[in-house]
Amino acid sequence: MQYILEVKNLKTWYSTDAGVARAVDGISFSLAPNRTMGIVGESGSGKSVTALSIMRLVPMPPGYFAGGEIMWNGLDLLKLEEDEMRRLRGNEIAMIFQEPMTSLNPVYRCGEQIMEQVMLHRRVSRKEARERAVELLGLVGMANPSERADAYPHELSGGMRQRVMIAMALSCDPALLIADEPTTALDVTVQAQILELIGSLQARTGMSVILITHDFGVVAELCEDVLVMYASKVVECGSVSQIFSKPLHPYTRGLLQSIPRIGSKQTRLHVIEGNVPSATRLPDGCRFANRCPIADSHCRQFEPELKSYEAGHQAACWKVSL
């Protein structure tokens, strides 16, 4: 299978007063064209840093790449000069950030911000860029797109600002869209609209999508492949059907058991006891061992590798039972 993105043993670390924080610590995965991959895990598991690493937006210092490769159509993004990366960023690879109010410039009109990206990557006039911005705002479902193009971010609702971010990300027809928790802090109905919009745009344009979320319901709805991260590592990956029907890792099973279900007689939701370990104090052995109900001394002493158990289904666990 041909892949447009291959991440190989990526290590993104940060220098801090408390020591080296291994935010992403040797992860590998591949993404095929026209596929949607969900990356799930608790806060602090390394999901957003993975996305920022692909975009080469990790602040340096304190961040740095301690190893690995990010191959994009045969190019290692970690070896590109900044001006080469700038030509790719926003053009071939685009990102929707978690909080649009902090991602949009508050002193520029929304249309101007979309136009800036279009003119940066396309040889078009200001008039053509304006037409493209209005067209994109209409494409993402904004009423009166011409009027909205002249609005400042603070004049729009959260859902509208998120649509502006999506329009900006799609402005140059990227081959890969990374969406980092695109529905955070939005009401449920707006969440559904944004997710439906991303799905329909992906189906229309054929772009690949990486969707970062902690919501397995979103994964089931939109994704074909799933990457489960815990404490800076990938602990399980596979197709949506494999992950939901036969999860191999105790952490994945714990996450799935934590999903509220209509009609369930349980009075309390399942909880995974404990917390994700600090990236500056990662334990020896399996990083989930101190929270795992089936871990033993071997698990706490030796770190498991990500192994294949069936076609495309991998897990990093000493206790996998098929």
CA 82 to chain centre: 22
CB contact at 8 A, 230 and 287:
yes
Write the DSSP string, 25-52: EEEEEEE-TT-EEEEE--TTSSHHHHHH
Task: Note whether 232 and 24 are within 8 A (CB).
Answer: yes
Does some domain include residue 47? yes
Three-state helix/strand/coil letters over 74-118 = CEEHHHCCHHHHHHHECCCEEEECCCHHHHCCCCCCHHHHHHHHH
Please report whether residue 320 resides in a domain: no
Give the strand pairing for 225-230 and 63-72: unpaired
What pLDDT shows up at residue 206?
Answer: 86
Q: Which amino acid is at 104?
A: L
CA separation for the pair 264, 89 (Å, rounded): 45
In tens, the pLDDT along 70-98 reads: 999 889 999 999 989 988 888 889 988 87
251 and 151 in a common domain: no
Q: Edge-to-edge strand order for the sheet containing 225-230?
A: 93-96, 176-180, 208-212, 36-40, 225-230, 233-239, 313-315, 307-310
Domains contained in the chain, number: 2
Selection from 75, 46, 79 nearest residue 65 by Cα: 79
Nearest to 218 by CA among 238, 199, 242, 237: 199
Query: Domain containing 238 — which CATH number?
Result: 3.40.50.300
What pTM value is reported for the model? 0.89
> What is the pLDDT, as a whole number, of residue 40?
93
Please give the residue range of the domain that contains residue 271. 5-92+174-315
Q: Would you say residue 234 lies in a domain?
A: yes
Residues 168 and 184 in one domain: no
Query: Torsion angle, CA of 306/311/313/319, rounded to 10 degrees?
Result: -70
Which pair of tokens denotes residue 253? 């099973």
Residue with the two structure tokens 């078009």: 124
Based on the domain organization, do 132 and 244 belong to the same domain? no
* Sites in the chain below the pLDDT cut of 70: 1, 100-101, 185-186, 263-267, 322
